[in-house]
């Protein structure tokens, strides 16, 4: 089976950036930044990215491009069959994430349609809350929109690496950027918008606590789509001359930039209408529709906002679903279309259980150790498999792969002169990254 590749370094960058960007970029990261000291937290976060996010990303890029294989075969080629367990962990983690992430993506797709149909005209706080509750508790509705999101992803993936993933991200990522800028410009023209900018960027070291540092540390790993095999899978499609270190740095910084631009779109608007910058889904699904409905041409802006949010969800899901698809294609020798259909059906089956287990829905009373089905999928992937995968990946490349192999691959067979950055990367990967991810793991468990 001939293996596809991305056509250029630009395609590589846009695809990997699309993998990193997700729903958390739109509401969680800006809020966390503002509540933990703004510019001070941002400085700590970027430092953590240098010590955790970028080293693991480079390592995943190395594993993927060196082996040109899915995560299971990649680890087996480099470290023997015993290491293939790390690849299987990535596949399981990507599926677990998709089980609950596809449900939330369905909510976003639903809101994109509702905003297009003008459902938020003249919205009040109560009506905005009612729409959200009805959205997540309507059994038929949540399944329908979840399947819609999965169908979009499946159609793109059946078209292959170049015709599907590359073409989609080349279109969707620039559109996402333009939509964010339009929302930013409108938000900055509002009265009292400066308060929102201060909330997001003002440097306040007094708000930095030990919990803030742990939060920054966790975000530097979880936010970049690491530990699930997505970056390994995408890297297996990289061009031979792509600069792995440069790409990882560009993706990490661009991912942060998109998050901050989303914050600029949200928080000046929130403060202009004297609303509280509440945390969680409430900000995205209750406060934002309420505020945009009060603006001139607010319905158009609201549609744009949820369209860009849908794009962020879609590009993230593409990379997650591609992980098990690549495994089925290369290990089980199943064609791409059949592999995509099989994986999509599995996600739809278990994902429907997650969607129906949200509070107020038909399976909300089904609990295991006090957790709903939705929360179990989230906990197993985010709290256990992802950090464990990160520790094993950094330890594998740092200690078990021959140093010469790493150097030759990352320097593109010595064509790139990056000796000093490479030395720093290897040093950080061996001694800092595993320890810091271990701290993330312990913190996420306890």
Q: What are the residue ranges spanned by the domains of the chain?
A: 9-445
- Whether residue 279 is predicted with pLDDT greater than 60 in this model: the reply is no
Tell me if 67 sits within 8 A of 236, measured CB to CB.
yes
- Whether residue 369 is predicted with pLDDT greater than 80 in this model: the reply is yes
Q: Kindly report the average pLDDT of the chain as a whole number.
A: 93
Q: What is the pLDDT of residue 403?
A: 95
In this prediction, residues 199-220 reach a mean pLDDT of 90
Separation of alpha carbons 306 and 287, rounded Å: 13
- Whether residue 280 is predicted with pLDDT greater than 80 in this model: the reply is no
| 191 or 261, greater pLDDT | 261
- Percent of the chain exceeding pLDDT 90 equals 79
- Whether residue 286 is predicted with pLDDT greater than 90 in this model: the reply is no
- Whether residue 277 is predicted with pLDDT greater than 80 in this model: the reply is no
Measured over the CA atoms of residue 106, residue 109, residue 111 and residue 113, the dihedral's sign is negative
Q: What is the pLDDT of residue 269?
A: 85
In this prediction, residues 265-275 reach a mean pLDDT of 85
From the candidate CATH numbers 1.20.1740, 1.20.1250, 1.10.700, 2.60.40, the one assigned to the domain spanning 9-445: 1.20.1740
The structure tokens listed for 284 are: 């995205």
Count of positions (residues) in the chain: 446
How many Cα atoms within 13 Å fall on the side-chain side of residue 193? 16
Separation of alpha carbons 52 and 56, rounded Å: 6
Separation of alpha carbons 144 and 151, rounded Å: 10
Q: How confident is the model at residue 278 (pLDDT cuts 50, 70, 90)?
A: low
Least confident stretch, 113-122, 154-163, 311-320: 113-122
Q: What is the pLDDT of residue 145?
A: 98
35-62 residue pLDDT tens: 888 899 999 999 999 999 999 999 999 9
Rg (CA), the chain: 21
């Amino acid at each position: 089976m001939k293996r596809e590749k991305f056509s250029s370094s630009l395609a590589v960058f846009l695809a990997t950036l699309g993998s990193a960007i997700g729903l958390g970029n739109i509401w969680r990261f800006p809020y966390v930044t503002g509540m933990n000291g703004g510019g001070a937290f941002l400085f700590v976060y970027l430092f953590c990215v240098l010590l955790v996010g970028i080293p693991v990303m480079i390592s995943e890029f190395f594993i993927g491009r060196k082996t040109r294989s899915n995560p299971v075969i990649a680890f087996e080629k480099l470290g023997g069959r015993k290491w293939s367990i790390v690849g299987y962990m990535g596949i399981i983690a990507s599926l677990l994430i998709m089980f609950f992430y596809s449900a939330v993506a369905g909510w976003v797709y639903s809101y994109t349609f509702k905003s297009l149909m003008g459902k938020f005209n003249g919205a009040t706080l109560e009506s905005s809350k009612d729409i959200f509750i009805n959205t997540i508790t309507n059994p038929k509705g949540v399944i329908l929109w979840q399947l819609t999101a999965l169908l979009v992803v499946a159609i793109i993936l059946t078209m292959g690496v170049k015709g599907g993933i590359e073409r989609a991200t080349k279109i969707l990522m620039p559109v996402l950027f333009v939509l964010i800028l339009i929302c930013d410009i409108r938000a900055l023209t509002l009265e009292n918008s400066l308060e929102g900018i201060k909330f997001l960027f003002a440097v306040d070291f007094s708000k930095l606590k030990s919990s803030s540092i742990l939060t920054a540390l966790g975000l530097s790993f979880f936010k970049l789509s690491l530990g699930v095999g997505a970056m390994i899978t995408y890297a297996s499609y990289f061009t031979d001359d792509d600069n792995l270190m440069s790409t990882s740095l560009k993706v990490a910084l661009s991912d942060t930039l998109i998050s901050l631009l989303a914050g600029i779109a949200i928080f000046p608007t929130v403060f202009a209408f004297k609303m509280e910058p509440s945390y969680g889904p409430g900000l995205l699904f209750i406060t934002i529709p309420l505020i945009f409905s009060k603006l001139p041409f607010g319905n158009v802006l609201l549609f744009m906002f949820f369209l860009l949010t849908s794009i962020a969800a879609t590009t993230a899901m593409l990379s997650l679903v591609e992980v098990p698809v690549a495994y089925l294609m290369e290990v089980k020798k199943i064609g791409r279309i059949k592999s995509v259909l099989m994986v999509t059906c599995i996600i739809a089956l278990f994902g429907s259980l997650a969607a129906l287990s949200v509070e107020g829905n038909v399976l909300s009373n089904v609990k295991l150790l006090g957790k709903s089905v939705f929360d179990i999928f989230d906990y197993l992937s985010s709290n256990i498999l992802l950090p464990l995968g990160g520790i094993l990946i950094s330890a594998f490349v740092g200690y078990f792969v021959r140093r010469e192999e790493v150097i030759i691959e990352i320097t593109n067979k010595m064509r790139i002169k990056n000796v000093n950055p490479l030395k720093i990367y290897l040093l950080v990967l061996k001694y800092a990254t595993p320890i810091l991810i271990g701290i993330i793991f312990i913190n996420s468990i306890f």
